[in-house]
Structure 1
Amino acid sequence: MARPNEEVEGLLQEYADLIAITGGDAFKARAYEKAARAIGGHPVDISRLDAEGLREIPHVGRSIADKVVEYLRTGSVSAVEERRSKIPAGVRALTAIPTLGPKKALRLYEDLHISSVDELAAAIEADALHDLKGFGAKTQENILHGITLLRQAGGRIPLHVAMRDAEDIVGELSAVKGCRRCAYAGSLRRMRETIGDIDVLVAAARSGPFMDALAGLPSTAEVIAHGAKKTSVRTAQGIQVDLRVLPPDSWGAGLVYFTGSKAHNIRIRTIAVRQGLKLSEYGLFDAESEESVASRTEEDVYERLGLPWIPPTLREDRGEIEAALGGELPEVVTERDIRGDLHTHTDLTDGLASLETMVQAAAERGYAYFAVTDHAPGLAMQRMTDEKILAQREQVRALDGVHRGMRLLHGTELNIGPKGEVDWPDEFLAGFDLCVASVHSHFDLGRAAMTRRFVRVCENPHIQIIGHPTTRLVGKRPPVDADWDEVFAACARTGTALEVNAQPDRLDLCDEEILRAREYGVKFAVNTDAHCVPHLACLRFGVGTAQRGWLTAKDVVNTWPLSRLRRFLRKGGA
């Protein structure tokens, strides 16, 4: 159930795309893109604001504010509907393909009457685009790869979208009379980066009130199945939600069963069978007498099987059973362990909030320290200068310790050039408390060149963290091609941390790469890359990904006390 801010963000972004598709003013399209980002990142619910209040949001002028008010009042915007009517729905669908922009989508429709993803794929395979200007072999190859990414994503739901809807539903059902327990389960509880559907469990004596409540929620667009044991609905956003109501005494067994994964469940059921037991969603039973031996809590079920409780994020049959049996299960990092965020932005570059606002919000999260790392001048559109960053440093020093004693670190996010070079010279970099270095361009370098690029950055004594290392965007952009084993070895050798970027469209490094890097002894930083106050709350997604990669607090540098972190930031001094 999207919040008003997110609904309007999507609407304004669509309007910007429609302007671009129809050949409208590029400046106007960019203005709507900026306004969309600003509204999406605004900490206050915009449905509570009038036009005047909306105009106080950065990049929201009178015309945009009026459209937002119109949408909040009527559910639509006449200007958007007018633009939509001029563009076939298929053309808008084409713009969902990574690497295919709106202008190219319109040309495909006008010149070749292509209005679907399948038609475009078939046209490329048939070499029907060879005479179309701007669609050379490399462009077609990129489009085909984008189509592959789009199809792989299929009906998968981004983690943060599924989490938002699941928590809303859990909140609604928890308020129904007779609810003893309510929680989401499945791959969402395991914090996978995308979700097929949402599993919700309720512990109650009677199922009917909860099945009826789910079917009657305002967010429910369609009831797929309605029964005493299971009800399935589809939300207005197209997400399937499956609800099961369990007897309160079966809560623990049901949570184990429906959290999964399938492979993990097979392993623990095998252990149960070897012990003469049978495991189902209703409990762990003696196979002969069918007497329940454990069911009320997950801990009870695992303990009866001879296992410690296994965190949901580890339940993927990637060695967690063996580790548990051997007493080597990691105590994975938690949100409570994180003492500070080491990668954030302000409105000095592409952030949406002032330095003071970001610092105050970080202090309210209880952080012991907080780093501000605005972009360096290599990203020309941010118009960073030496003078601007040094002036910000003075502001940071003045705010250090002011908010609840939180210590501030002044950093920067550098751009890793194609040969591993960065924006500022060594003598200038030496003045920062920390430097995050990230790839923002030249994604298509060959494997050897890309590997050298990362290794050279690791060897820079002023760079302590590699930001969003593989550059991937979930379902939209693949990781860059590098010899990651060589990169991980270089990180371990030089004392350079790899970021687990918590932005839900990144989650980079992903869990599988974290597992590989961990074997080399690499250290990590779980950061939000926040560009506005609401982004700070994305930390949970980074922590979930870190857990899936088996990371403990010892592996994550921003769980350490500031004194130890400062030694680490001196590159290898931890």
Structure 2
Amino acid sequence: MVRPNDEVEALLQEYADLIAITGGEAFKARAYEKAARAIGGYPADVSHLDAAGLKEIPGVGTSIAEKVVEYLRTGHVTVVDERRARIPAGVRQLITIPTLGPKKAMALYENLHISSVNELADAITAEKLRDLRGFGEKTEENILHGIALMRQSRGRILLSTAMEAAEDVVAELSRIPGCEHCAYAGSLRRMKETVGDIDVLVAARRSAPFMDALTELPSTAEVIVHGGKKTSVRTAEGVQVDLRVVRPDAWGAGMQYFTGSKAHNIRTRTIAVHLGLKLSEYGLFDADGGERVASRSEDEVYARLGLPWIPPTLREDRGEIEAGLRGELPRVVTERDIRGDLHTHTDLTDGLTPLEEMVAAAAGRGYAYYAVTDHAPNLYMQRMTDEKILAQRERVRSLDGRHHGMRLLHGTELNIGPGGEVDWPDAFLQGFDLCVAAVHSHFNVGRRAMTRRLVRACENPRVNVIGHPTTRLLGKRPGVDADLDEVFAACARTGTALEINAQPDRLDLGDEDILRAKDHGARFAVDTDAHSIPQLAYLRYGVGTAQRGWLTPDDVINTWPLRRLRRFLRKDRTD
């Protein structure tokens, strides 16, 4: 079920967009955006807070707190409804297109009476936008690409959204008497970055109690199919959940069947046929006599096929079958292997939580070390100064080792400029324990320029990690156009790690790029880029993506002991 915090975050973000569309003050829109992020990242349930409690959240003032209380009490906010009424629904649909902002959406409506995505696509085809102020051929290309992204992602949801819904369903069904096992399967278990629907499997002797229970869950908004073998529902958030119940003695076969990709399952069934067997969701059977030879556990099923147990994240038919037959499957990295997070933020810049609280939360996760990497000054909206970062460094040093012996690293997230330059001169950067560098603007400089930009950042002796390397936002913004193989080779050559950013809307690098970068010999850092305490838990999504890229603990620098990590961060230089 959706957290009240997430509902309020969405409402306040929508209001910020409505203010922008209707020509309201920019500072007011930014205030609501900031409050939305703060409430979304707040660890406690805001539905239990009154106005006074809400105002203790950074960025939430009296007016915003009153609106939140009104929404939590009535389900509506009067001023939001009034703004909605002033804007055609089609315009609100237009601003969901990646690359198209609220002001341009309103301009399209006022000048060309465009109020739907299809009308916009037709207008671009007819070249009607080019004469509008602020538009042009390049703008048309960007909008068309945004429409394609939106249509491509329609019907698919982020991994994190699917995970939250699935874990709620699994928790509810697991409480029902007679449940021997319950788990999610499918692409969610394989940790794909987006998921079409959620597959849930139950092991029990009777299916009816579970099928009925799914249709009656508070989160269920629509029953699509209700049967004895399969029940499908759609949640209030629009997520489809498919439930199947198998007998306990077929649990392993069911999980193997409903987890693997289509291509992986074809390969395992082909192996079965060559062994005189037949593989289905009910078990592995002798093809002649029909006797079941394996089914209770996945290990048993794979072993009877001559394979080791294959981690779900590898079941994509990308060489895992061959590696298993050769006895060369990797021991992929797990959350337990991660010793620290190397990219996080505090409220000194765009984070929501004070330094001391972020450090305490990280220590509670059992980390051996933890890095604070607030933004450097070239992101002007963060208002970073030399004095602020040096004062933070003193606070970091004073906290070092005070939480269960966890060591603290003082770092920064540098901005990679159009020419590959970064914030602060080399002499100032010497004082940091590590530097993450990332592209935050000028995304369309061209392939050659973008490649050189990233390579130059890798070659900087003070840059240790390239953060969210492609800058993609899933379903919203494509990755930059660059020769990534050249960038990956530069990372391997210079001893610069590539980040696997665990933010659910990034997961950047993605699994296919990780596989290519690994072939070049690059190292990786799985980081959360956390801006609040709850986001530290995003690590699971970064680790899942790393597994899909076949990474082992040795490939990931923040699995290493601190001494080895510090040697890597020096990039073989002497100061």
The alignment's TM-score, normalised by the length of structure 1, stands at 0.99
1:78 matched to which residue of 2? Answer: 78
CA distance in 1 between counterparts of 2:130 and 2:493 reads 48
* Superposition map of 1:130-149 within 5 A: 130-149=130-149
1:204 matched to which residue of 2? Answer: 204
Contact 1:494 1:572 in 2 (8 A): no
Give the Å deviation of 1:280. 0.6
2:498 matched to which residue of 1? Answer: 498
1:399 matched to which residue of 2? Answer: 399
1:507 matched to which residue of 2? Answer: 507
Give unmatched runs, 5+ long, in structure 1.
none
Q: Counterpart amino acid of 2:122?
A: A
Look up the SS of the partner of 2:32 in the other structure. Answer: helix
1:387 matched to which residue of 2? Answer: 387
1:67 matched to which residue of 2? Answer: 67
Give the Å deviation of 1:131. 2.5
Q: Counterpart amino acid of 1:320?
A: E
What whole-Å deviation, never above 9, does each CA across 1:367-389 have from its counterpart, x for those lacking one?
00000001110101111111111
CA distance in 1 between counterparts of 2:79 and 2:206 reads 49
* Superposition map of 1:129-278 within 5 A: 129-278=129-278
CA distance in 1 between counterparts of 2:126 and 2:212 reads 52
What whole-Å deviation, never above 9, does each CA across 1:12-49 have from its counterpart, x for those lacking one?
10111111111122221111111000000001111111
With 125-134 and 397-406 compared, the bigger mean Cα shift is at: 125-134
CA RMSD in angstroms, aligned pairs only: 0.9
Q: Counterpart amino acid of 2:57?
A: I
1:36 matched to which residue of 2? Answer: 36
Look up the SS of the partner of 1:254 in the other structure. Answer: helix
* Superposition map of 1:80-119 within 5 A: 80-119=80-119
Query: In the superposition, relative to structure 1, how do residues 248 and 455 fare at CA in structure 2: closer, same or farther (>3 Å)?
Result: same
CA distance in 2 between counterparts of 1:451 and 1:18 reads 37
Q: Counterpart amino acid of 1:347?
A: D
Query: In the superposition, relative to structure 1, how do residues 130 and 462 fare at CA in structure 2: closer, same or farther (>3 Å)?
Result: closer
Q: Counterpart amino acid of 2:493?
A: R
CA distance in 2 between counterparts of 1:48 and 1:107 reads 41
Q: Counterpart amino acid of 1:401?
A: G
Q: Counterpart amino acid of 2:256?
A: V
Look up the SS of the partner of 1:301 in the other structure. Answer: helix
CA distance in 2 between counterparts of 1:491 and 1:131 reads 44
Q: Are 2:328 and 1:328 equivalent residues in the alignment?
A: yes
2:530 matched to which residue of 1? Answer: 530
1:433 matched to which residue of 2? Answer: 433
Q: Counterpart amino acid of 1:334?
A: T
What whole-Å deviation, never above 9, does each CA across 1:330-366 have from its counterpart, x for those lacking one?
0000000000000000111110000001000000000
Q: Counterpart amino acid of 2:167?
A: E
CA distance in 2 between counterparts of 1:428 and 1:168 reads 48
Q: Are 2:358 and 1:350 equivalent residues in the alignment?
A: no
What whole-Å deviation, never above 9, does each CA across 1:414-468 have from its counterpart, x for those lacking one?
1111111111111111111001111111111121111111111111111111111
Q: Counterpart amino acid of 2:223?
A: V
Contact 1:492 1:521 in 2 (8 A): yes
Contact 1:253 1:280 in 2 (8 A): yes
What whole-Å deviation, never above 9, does each CA across 1:467-524 have from its counterpart, x for those lacking one?
1111111111111111111111111111111000000111010000000000011110
Give the Å deviation of 1:572. 4.0
Look up the SS of the partner of 1:476 in the other structure. Answer: coil
Q: Are 2:569 and 1:564 equivalent residues in the alignment?
A: no
With 400-409 and 27-36 compared, the bigger mean Cα shift is at: 27-36
Same amino acid, percent of matched pairs? 78
2:121 matched to which residue of 1? Answer: 121
1:411 matched to which residue of 2? Answer: 411
Look up the SS of the partner of 1:293 in the other structure. Answer: strand
CA distance in 1 between counterparts of 2:100 and 2:454 reads 28
CA distance in 1 between counterparts of 2:344 and 2:247 reads 46
With 307-316 and 456-465 compared, the bigger mean Cα shift is at: 456-465
Look up the SS of the partner of 2:241 in the other structure. Answer: strand
Contact 1:349 1:382 in 2 (8 A): yes
What whole-Å deviation, never above 9, does each CA across 1:185-235 have from its counterpart, x for those lacking one?
100000000000010111111000101100001111110010000000111
Look up the SS of the partner of 2:108 in the other structure. Answer: helix
What whole-Å deviation, never above 9, does each CA across 1:82-127 have from its counterpart, x for those lacking one?
2112212111110011111111111212222211111100110011
What whole-Å deviation, never above 9, does each CA across 1:508-552 have from its counterpart, x for those lacking one?
100000000000111100000011111100000000000000000
Give the Å deviation of 1:154. 1.5
Q: Are 2:18 and 1:18 equivalent residues in the alignment?
A: yes
Q: Are 2:375 and 1:367 equivalent residues in the alignment?
A: no
Look up the SS of the partner of 2:224 in the other structure. Answer: strand
CA distance in 2 between counterparts of 1:214 and 1:115 reads 38
Q: Counterpart amino acid of 2:77?
A: V
CA distance in 2 between counterparts of 1:413 and 1:229 reads 52
Q: Are 2:542 and 1:542 equivalent residues in the alignment?
A: yes
Q: Counterpart amino acid of 2:423?
A: D
CA distance in 2 between counterparts of 1:4 and 1:52 reads 17
Contact 1:211 1:230 in 2 (8 A): yes
Look up the SS of the partner of 1:114 in the other structure. Answer: coil
CA distance in 1 between counterparts of 2:75 and 2:387 reads 46
Q: What is the total number of aligned residue pairs between the two structures?
A: 573
1:463 matched to which residue of 2? Answer: 463
What whole-Å deviation, never above 9, does each CA across 1:540-573 have from its counterpart, x for those lacking one?
0000000000000000000001111111111148
Q: Counterpart amino acid of 1:77?
A: V
Give the Å deviation of 1:282. 0.7
Query: In the superposition, relative to structure 1, how do residues 572 and 280 fare at CA in structure 2: closer, same or farther (>3 Å)?
Result: farther
What whole-Å deviation, never above 9, does each CA across 1:252-295 have from its counterpart, x for those lacking one?
00001011200000000000000011111111111111111000
CA distance in 2 between counterparts of 1:352 and 1:165 reads 25
What whole-Å deviation, never above 9, does each CA across 1:299-326 have from its counterpart, x for those lacking one?
0000000000000000000000001011
Look up the SS of the partner of 1:409 in the other structure. Answer: strand
CA distance in 2 between counterparts of 1:63 and 1:371 reads 35
1:422 matched to which residue of 2? Answer: 422
Give the Å deviation of 1:130. 2.9
1:299 matched to which residue of 2? Answer: 299
Give the Å deviation of 1:74. 1.6
CA distance in 2 between counterparts of 1:107 and 1:569 reads 49
Q: Counterpart amino acid of 1:248?
A: P
The alignment's TM-score, normalised by the length of structure 2, stands at 0.99
CA distance in 2 between counterparts of 1:17 and 1:525 reads 34
CA distance in 1 between counterparts of 2:279 and 2:76 reads 51
